Amino acid sequence: MFGRLTIDALPLYSAIAAGGALITVFGTLAVMAVITWLKAWGYLWREWFTSVDHKRIGIMYVTLALIMLLRGFIDAIMMRTQQAIALNSDGYLPPSHFDQIFSSHGTIMIFFMAMPFLTGLINIIVPQQIGARDVAFPYLNSMSLWMTAAGAALVMVSLVIGKFSTAGWTAYPPYSGAEYSPGVGVDYWIWAVLIAGVGSTLTGINFIVTILKKRAPGMFMMRMPLFTWTAFCTALLMAFAFPAITVVGVLLELDRVFGMHFFTNGHGGNLMMFANLLWIWGHPEVYILILPAFGIYSSVVTTFSSKRLFGYTSLVWATAAIAILSFSVWLHHFFTMGSSANVNSAFGIATMIIAVPTGVKVFDWLFTMFRGRIRFHVSMMYLIAFIVTFVIGGVTGVLLALPPADYVMHNSTFLVAHFHNMLIPGALFGYFAAVNLWFPKAFGFKLDDRWGRRSFWCWVIGFYLAFMPLYVLGFMGMPRRMEHYDTAAWQPYLVVAFIGAVFILFGLIFLVVQIAVSVKNHAALRDWTGDPWHGRTLEWLTSSPPAPYNFAVLPKVESLDAFHAMKEEGTAYQRPERYEDIRMPKNSAFGMIVGGLAFVFGFAAVWYIWWLVAACAAAIAITVIIRASGDDTEYVMTAAEVEAIENRRFADMAKAPPPDLRHVPVGVPGAPVPGAVS
Amino acid sequence: MNRSNPPPRPLRSSGGEGKAISRKLLAAAAVAGLAVLLSGCGLANAPIANPQGPVGLAERNILFRAFGIMMIVVIPVFIMAAWFSWRYRATNARARYQPNWLSNKVDAVTWILPALIVIAIAVHVWIFTHALDPYKPLDAPAKPLEVQAVAQDWKWLFIYPEQGIATVNEIAFPAGTPLTLRITSDTVMNSFFIPALGSQIFAMAGMQTQLNLLASEPGRFVGRNTQYSGSGFADQHFEAIAMTTEDFDAWVEKVRQSRTALDEAAYTELAKPSSKVPVTYYSSVEPNLFAKIIATYDSSMAAMAGQ
């Protein structure tokens, strides 16, 4: 009836595990209690959970990402603490626990922090940047969100019922197979990743179609903002790479549940197949994480240098080159698996080649700053920190791409430092910059500047302290994933790394404070015009927050930096003679139902509750069929309703205080003159 | 654009923002510098920065050389980031403002310069990957010593086929003599590594990998598994001892004095999961044990293992 689920699944084997479970359970209950007390369930259901509006979906993705960032960080600081003290000692975490923590840290940060973060940002902004009203497939969009949430929920449930995997975030067999990891941990990993992976694959398809088919008139591909270009390449990578991890996850699960021999020791199994398939996904995946950040940096540097992007065409070609080449380098993740010198050289050289377009991008951002007028907004500070710090990570990446160098550095803390050097200053700082840049667009008020700076400095200093020692430890021969060690020379560096983690803890605390303070002061921080930073691209044309339909009249695009061009021409804030009816997709519980069923399906599969697995699969199929056959999917916003919303928008613009143009140079169009009508 | 209203009360004075930023940049640079200085102290004794054999030495040198080549691009990037941020800050009215500046020449350079650097390094990749292929026998006057290494949970078994002895967690070899390792695993994927001597390579069940190393001088080095393999992983290290030829011969004799033989029963016992296993000597070894271990997973591979 309950498969292999028994009372032993509760984490009573250790105080720390029990503590983690209690915090998870009580945290969830506390949030639910607050929502109940605020009587907000109806509001949340109507306005958020059943919404198919890309802006709402995007905000929910980013919210999930920030929550999982905190959860993944707790894993990180627990590991740093353990390693700082575990010289010739067991520390406070036994191997069975430490090993779950390093596995869940990587899994959460990649699949449930970074992926939802970038997907959320792309969701909120890209349709606006291309002058569209929504994505091509709004219901699929909602389903993608809830599938991702279902995967995250499975990882969180593993804290309370059962254990998580100890096989690392890449789950190499045969360690992750049934013989060496017979428990539920690896199954939790597989189902969380497979379910979230479906969400990402569908998001990829959704945005490929949206960007190809939903652009406003005149928005040729070579007039799209760089962020949209990077989103497009990211979507291509998602659609083409995720099938590889879906296949390898299914094959591993077949090995584990049905005793098959794809990757087992013996009986014809071969772990090398897993490594290849996994990294055929895995390398494009890291470009999925970084390309949107590159697009964000292009938005930030142009806006806050008040300058046109240098080398737009080069940047587009560089982005496309990176996306295509990302499928050609996967073997560099296992140079030490015994391939011949010819094979290793070929992949090493292919990896070098990717460094060229990346170098082009760094130069182009610098040359955008050249002869600009730079305002040091918090996002701009993230950009500058990124350029300096990411380049260090790029250097270490090229070093690792030299097979003979990798032979001594593979699996060491040098490798750990390298990829965190790419992910934190590269991807995460980009996402933070995006939050500071686009928060007013999403919510209608800016984020507090002072707390943003405090958070920034803690993150930057924390990053250097936490990861530079790891480069040194790599040279000292320290491998990754060590639960304790007996080389005294390593400890001082691990202590410094722990201090870095504490700085990052404050960076996170200040981020939360920043949001709280901004909400409290939202009236003073209000963005009345929709264009708080004197932006250049179309998302700044909409109100903040935008109307559900984004644009009452689809903009006619005549050049790159379309909004900037409109402001220069004086055509940005024209009102049409008449408004038209707008057809909008209706809210639907479809996405949430499928996501919920997927969560139960995954949980049941982990615990071998086969009748429930079958029931959920059937229910999902039926739900999809019902939704796909339904015709009642739209409602009409009448021209009158649209006009009323637009009237309020122009009235708000008129209420705006005079813009702060102290550092905005002459020639950059400011906000519209109050009361002016074209 | 409406400039007729007086500017609102400044939140920061125009010079102040720049000064506040530079003070903080200085503080951050100090922290980074401290981190770098601290590193210098550790690197003197770091086995990878201070290798004890030609393989490790060549690998370290290629690390440093590639790093140097990349500095040609990286240092200008750092300088430009600092200089442009400072000079083109909005409060600096003297800097030129060219909002639509483009330059095909500069654009071309942004492609060509990284491309040249990458070509230079790519040439090194080809040459040195072939030169430092772990399977490639080393160029040395002495005849290579062959040792077969078996990764187990959570220890290492070393079989000396020519001498007919075996050890656990201790591998000895003459300095100046090439060490040819044939490596497999009797468990999950492991990775055999002696940081002070260079290259690591995976150990995989049913398969044989090869590694050629050499220690220039006698010494004691740490060896370990670097691929996480379970709860005993952190303790899965061994001692690698390079000896003079006389000392090595004496060591072989010492091992032959052991009263334990590594027959099938002893092997089955040894293969059970255990950690913090003390150094153990076996005076004799089951014939073709290494091939048999591989054959338990893949009989076709075992035939190749004999070569």
DSSP string, A482-541: -S-B--GGGHHHHHHHHHHHHHHHHHHHHHHHHHHHHHHTTTTTB-SSS-TT---SGGGT
Q: Is the pLDDT of residue A202 over 80?
A: yes
| C-alpha B131: how far from chain center | 17
B1·A469 Cβ contact <8 A = no
Residue with tokens 């902004």: A125
**Pairing status of strand B145-152 against strand B179-185:** parallel
Mutate to test the interface with B, among A370, A416, A465 (most CBs of B within 10 A): A370
CA dihedral A86, A90, A96, A102 (to 10 degrees): 0
Digit-coded pLDDT (tens) for A81-130: 999 999 999 999 999 999 999 999 999 999 999 999 999 999 999 999 99
Residues forming a β-bridge with B190: B203
Helix (H), strand (E) at residue B71: helix B54-87
Residues within 8 A of A (CB atoms), B 26-45 only = 28, 31-32, 35-36, 38-39, 42-43, 45
Residue in chain A closest to B71 (alpha carbons) equals A395
The tokens for B129 are: 């990957």
Which pLDDT belongs to residue B55?
96
A660·B88 Cβ contact <8 A = no
The tokens for A82 are: 């353990």
Tell me the C-alpha distance between A19 and A14, whole Å.
8
Residues of B in contact with A168 (CB under 8 A): 228
d(CA A59, nearest CA chain B) in Å = 30
Helix (H), strand (E) at residue B280: strand B280-282
State whether residue B267 is helix, strand or coil. helix
d(CA B277, nearest CA chain A) in Å = 15
Tell me if chain A has a CB within 8 Å of the CB of B86: no
Q: Which of A534-543, A568-577, B20-29 is the least confident region?
A: B20-29
A314·B111 Cβ contact <8 A = yes
Which pLDDT belongs to residue A675?
37
Q: Output the average pLDDT for chain B.
A: 89
Residue in chain B closest to A377 (alpha carbons) equals B17
Contacts of A81 (CB under 8 A, 6+ apart): A91, A92, A498, A501
Summarize the confidence of residues A137-148 as an average pLDDT.
Answer: 97
Tell me if chain A has a CB within 8 Å of the CB of B79: no
Contacts of A250 (CB under 8 A, 6+ apart): A194
Taking a C-beta distance cutoff of 8 angstroms, is the pair A117, A438 a contact?
A: no
| Residue in B48, B124, B204 closest to A402 by CB | B124
A376·B99 Cβ contact <8 A = no
Residues of B in contact with A175 (CB under 8 A): 188-189, 228-230
Tell me the C-alpha distance between B51 and B59, whole Å.
9
Residue with tokens 């990286």: B74
Tell me if chain A has a CB within 8 Å of the CB of B65: no
| Residue in A373, A404, A457 closest to B90 by CB | A373
Tell me the C-alpha distance between B59 and B42, whole Å.
19
| E-state strands within B119-255 | 145-152, 155-160, 165-168, 170-174, 179-185, 190-194, 198-203, 209-213, 219-225, 237-243
Tell me the C-alpha distance between A10 and A12, whole Å.
6
Amino acid at A363: F
Q: Output the average pLDDT for chain A.
A: 95
**Pairing status of strand B209-213 against strand B179-185:** antiparallel
The tally of CA atoms less than 13 A away on the side-chain side of residue A284 is 28
Helix (H), strand (E) at residue A78: helix A54-85
The band of A676, judged by pLDDT with boundaries at 50, 70 and 90, is very low
Q: Is the pLDDT of residue A673 over 80?
A: no
State whether residue A422 is helix, strand or coil. helix
The tokens for A287 are: 């470009």
CB pairs under 8 A between A and B: 326
Nearest to A663 by CA among A306, A302, A297: A306
| Residue in A180, A464, A493 closest to B32 by CB | A464
Residues of A in contact with B226 (CB under 8 A): 410-412, 479-480
Tell me the C-alpha distance between A519 and A311, whole Å.
38
Tell me if chain A has a CB within 8 Å of the CB of B299: no
Burial A499-538 (b: 16+ CB within 10 A, else e): bbbbbbbbbbebbebbbebbeeeeeebbbbbbbbbbbbbb
What is this model's ipTM? Answer: 0.93
Digit-coded pLDDT (tens) for A496-518: 999 999 999 999 999 999 999 99
Tell me the C-alpha distance between A132 and B277, whole Å.
66
Residues of A in contact with B136 (CB under 8 A): 341
Residue in chain B closest to A175 (alpha carbons) equals B188
Which pLDDT belongs to residue B6?
45
Digit-coded pLDDT (tens) for B87-109: 999 999 899 999 999 999 999 99
Mutate to test the interface with B, among A351, A408, A472 (most CBs of B within 10 A): A408
Q: Is the pLDDT of residue A670 over 70?
A: no
What whole-number percentage of chain A has pLDDT above 90? 95
Residue with tokens 């916003």: A637
Taking a C-beta distance cutoff of 8 angstroms, is the pair B49, B212 a contact?
A: no
Amino acid at A531: D
Residues forming a β-bridge with B193: B224
Phi, psi of B212 (to 5 degrees): -115, 120
Give the pLDDT of chain B (307 residues) as one tens digit per residue.
Answer: 444 444 444 444 344 455 555 556 665 666 666 666 555 566 777 999 999 999 999 999 999 999 999 999 999 999 999 999 999 999 998 999 999 999 999 999 999 999 999 999 999 999 999 999 999 999 988 999 999 999 999 999 999 999 999 999 999 999 999 999 999 999 999 999 999 999 999 999 999 999 999 999 999 999 999 999 999 999 999 999 999 999 999 999 999 999 999 999 999 999 999 999 999 999 999 999 999 999 999 866 555 554 4
Burial A119-142 (b: 16+ CB within 10 A, else e): bbbbbbbbbbbbbbbbbbbbbbbb
